[in-house]
Amino acid sequence: MKALVWFHRWVGIVLCLMFATWFATGAVMVFVAFPALSPAARAAGGQAIDLARVTLDPARAAAALGDAPELRLVSMAGTPAYVAKATDGKFRAISAETSRPLAPISAAAAAGVAARFGGVPANRVDGPFDYDQWIVHQQFDPLRPFFRVRLSDRAGTDLYVSARTGEVAQRTLRYQRGWNWLGSVVHWIYFVPIRKSFALWDWSVWAVSLVGLTTTMAGLWLGLSRTRRKMNSKRPDVSPFRGLLRWHHILGLAAGGFVLCWITSGWLSMDHGRLFSEGVASDAAGAAYRRGVGNVPVAGFSVAELRQLAPAASVEFQQIAGHQVAAAAGPTGPRVLVKGPEGLTLQDRVPRTLVLDAARAAWPGQIASGLTPVAVDSAYAKAESLPPGALMIRLSGAAPARLYIDGVTGKVLVVMDRSRETYAWVYYMAHTYNYPGLSSRPVLRIAILLMPLTLGFGFAITGVLVGFRRLRSKIPASAVTVTGGRTT
């Protein structure tokens, strides 16, 4: 007990301040999320590809780029270009008109891209640079470096244009940048020197959260032990303490369960496959999903066929069940070309029968049934950040699971096995209160969530004050020295 008291007292002095910060910044995040540019917004604002200038077909482009498994057609500052990841993980671009490699775009070109995207002139261009606070996530790695373009609007909009592909990948507004310094940046320990190294950031946040979890468990044990001892004394009471420490004890009893749950779920947010499934298909399942039943030859698309996708801001090429798929996104909505043994079709999404055939080929021991729409405000859609129009396939058999599929492109987004489903509950829902029934009622969810956050903040502040008083009482005693008979 003495060791537990010592641990909780001195580690808690530091962590109570961190807890208070986490509760306060968590409340800010309820109202202002970290900036993100959705795929739909990118497509709506992206420049249409001049498909009339395209002379290189996707098959030859893939060969020129090293038979890249991921291939896209975009408008690179007005030039139609094929882009694909190189062996270093960065995007390479070649002209879809001449097949020659394309150099990174200039600052002037980036200003033009941003002005066209935002609909107002560019005011200032910074860069190119690899990192700043709002493009620190590893999802931006293939697109680095970036130009940051400030637009001439009242919202203080910054657009981040990839020098490698000429695409707008991020958008921030002045109020988002300001509030996120009081929210996500501090809450996630999202400072550039730490976050740009995923391994360093992952380990740091995981370790700090784990120490916070153990400190909370120690505090709960001590708090309940002290209450039980006092209740069995001659003068029963909830707490044996007085003053500020009494408030800390009572608030800890009231908020301890929530604090433990919230810190645990926050710690689990850094799981990244340590304890739970990551929700991705195996390499074998992914290959089978692309090939389907039988070995259907790759047909590819001709340049004339691609021109049917106009207007398109980007075209993504893939293979599903042995069929070639070209999914275009643009201001008028999605358009999808599908080519297989049956011929060529143009529609607004990949046929559902094709998706089911691919799922049955990829998971042959399971029964794949249904292809139902997923509501964007459902709990699992929020937990996995599913795009609008996502579909679900239910797998029944020895290893039951649910497949979440992009309703337009047919790509597998998440394999929701039992482990991943459990993770959604113990991490995401327990941390955000986006439980089924609450995820579609945001006002009620926020009201319920703010109550324990406020209680937890009050509890943490009392811990900070108790710790400050203890430190202040200890410092003078350790600083006293006797010199020449005089005390100083």
User: Cα–Cα distance between 472 and 245 in angstroms, integer?
Assistant: 15
Question: Which of 105, 67, 101 lies closest to 85 in space, CA to CA?
Answer: 67
Confidence class for position 12, pLDDT limits 50, 70, 90: confident
pLDDT cut 90: percent of the chain above it? 79
Residue with tokens 């991921």: 70
Distance, CA of 45 to CA of 42 (rounded, Å): 5
Reply yes or no on whether the pLDDT at 61 is more than 70: yes
What residue numbers bound the domain in which 54 lies?
Answer: 39-182
Residue 31 lies inside a defined structural domain of this protein: no
CB 413 within 8 A of CB 383: no
Of 153, 182, 211, at which residue does a domain stop?
182
Q: What are phi and psi of 260, to 5 degrees?
A: -60, -45
Strand partners, 392: 372, 404
**Residue-level pLDDT at 357:** 93
| pLDDT tens by residue, 145-170 | 999 999 999 999 999 999 999 999 99
With respect to residue 405, please indicate whether it lies within any of the assigned structural domains: yes
- CB-neighbour burial class of residue 44 (10 A; exposed 0-12, middle 13-18, buried 19+): middle
Residue 9 — very low, low, confident or very high, per pLDDT cuts 50/70/90? Answer: confident
Report helix, strand or coil for 147: strand
- Single out the residue of 291, 290, 306, 296 nearest to residue 60, CA to CA: 306
Minimal CA–CA distance to 363: which of 424, 296, 412?
Answer: 412
Tell me how far the alpha carbon of residue 99 is from its chain's centroid: 35
Q: How far apart are the first and last CA of the chain?
A: 36
- Report whether 147 contacts 128 (CB < 8 A): yes
In a domain, 274, yes or no: no
Return the amino acid letter for 97. E
H-assigned helices in 36-191: 39-45, 58-64, 107-118, 174-180, 184-187
pLDDT over 80 (residue 483): no
| pLDDT reported for residue 471 | 78
| Side-chain half-sphere exposure of 146, counting CA atoms within 13 A | 24
pLDDT of residue 296: 46
pLDDT of residue 10: 80
| Per-residue pLDDT tens digits for 192-237 | 999 999 999 999 999 999 999 999 999 999 999 999 999 999 899 9
Q: Please report, for residues 15, 188, 202, 273, the alpha-carbon distance to residue 208 in angstroms, rounded to integers and kept in the order given.
A: 9, 11, 10, 18
**Is residue 132 scored above 60 in pLDDT?**
yes
Residue 430 belongs to what H/E stretch? helix 430-432
Confidence bin at 297 (pLDDT 50/70/90): very low
Residues 155 and 287 in one domain: no
Structural domain includes residue 234:
no
- Give pLDDT, residue 304: 96
Whether 203 is covered by a domain: the verdict is: no
In a domain, 441, yes or no: no
Regarding predicted confidence, which is higher, 300 or 422?
A: 422
pLDDT at 15: 85
Nearest in space to 306 (alpha carbons), one of 80, 68, 20:
80
Per DSSP, the three-state class of 421 is helix
Taking residue 144's Cβ as centre, other Cβ atoms within 10 Å add up to 18
Count of Cβ atoms closer than 10 Å to residue 154 Cβ: 9
> pLDDT tens-digit profile of 391-400?
999 999 888 9
pLDDT digits (tens, 9 = 90+) for 375-410: 999 999 999 999 999 999 999 988 899 999 999 999
CA 208 to chain CA centroid, nearest Å:
20
Token digits of residue 423: 């993770």
From the number of C-beta atoms within 10 Å of its C-beta (0-12, 13-18, 19+), residue 180 rates as buried
Which one of 368, 389, 416 terminates a domain? 416
In a shared domain, residues 293 and 412 = yes
**Is there a single domain that holds both residue 171 and residue 295?**
no
pLDDT computed for residue 482 by the predictor: 46
Question: Treating both helix axes as pointing N-terminal to C-terminal, what angle do 2-31 and 243-268 enclose, rounded to 10 degrees?
Answer: 70
Residue 220 domain flag = no
Asked if residues 109 and 166 have their Cβ atoms less than 8 Å apart, the reply is yes
Residue 330: both structure tokens together? 């643009």
CA dist 250 → 224, 241, 243, 254, 259 (Å): 10, 10, 11, 6, 14
Residue 324 has what pLDDT? 93
Question: In angstroms, rounded to a whole number, what is the distance separating the alpha carbons of residues 315 and 112?
Answer: 21
Angle at 283 between CA 280 and CA 287, to 5 degrees: 110
Sheet-wide strand order for 401-405 = 367-373, 391-396, 401-405, 412-416
Q: Within a domain: residue 73?
A: yes
> What was the pLDDT predicted at 295?
47
Query: What is the domain count for the chain?
Result: 2
Q: What are the tens digits of pLDDT across the range 263-273?
A: 999 999 999 99
From 364, 387, 416, give the residue that closes a domain: 416
Which of the four pLDDT bands, split at 50, 70 and 90, describes residue 292?
A: low
pTM of the model: 0.91
Q: Which of 102, 108, 151, 157 is nearest to 128 (CA)?
A: 108
The HSE-up count of residue 477 (CA atoms within 13 Å, CB side) is 5
Q: Could you tell me if 80 and 50 are in contact, meaning their C-beta atoms sit under 8 angstroms apart?
A: yes
Q: Would the pLDDT of 27 be above 50?
A: yes
- Residue range 335-339: mean pLDDT, rounded: 95
- Specify whether the backbone of 99 is left (phi greater than 0), alpha (psi in -120 to 50) or beta: left
Cα–chain center distance at 279: 14
pLDDT tier for residue 480 given thresholds of 50, 70 and 90: very low
Dist. CA 214–CA 211, nearest whole Å: 5
Residue 130, pLDDT score: 97
pLDDT above 90 (res 186) = yes
pLDDT at 484 over 80: no
What pLDDT score was predicted for residue 67?
A: 67
Instruction: Map residue 246 onto helix, strand or coil.
Output: helix
Q: Outline where DSSP puts E strands in 96-153.
A: 122-129, 146-151
How distant, in Å, are the alpha carbons of 4, 5, 230, 242, 256 from that of 1?
Answer: 5, 6, 16, 21, 19
Residue 144 has pLDDT above 80, yes or no: yes
Asked if residue 486 has pLDDT above 60, the reply is: no
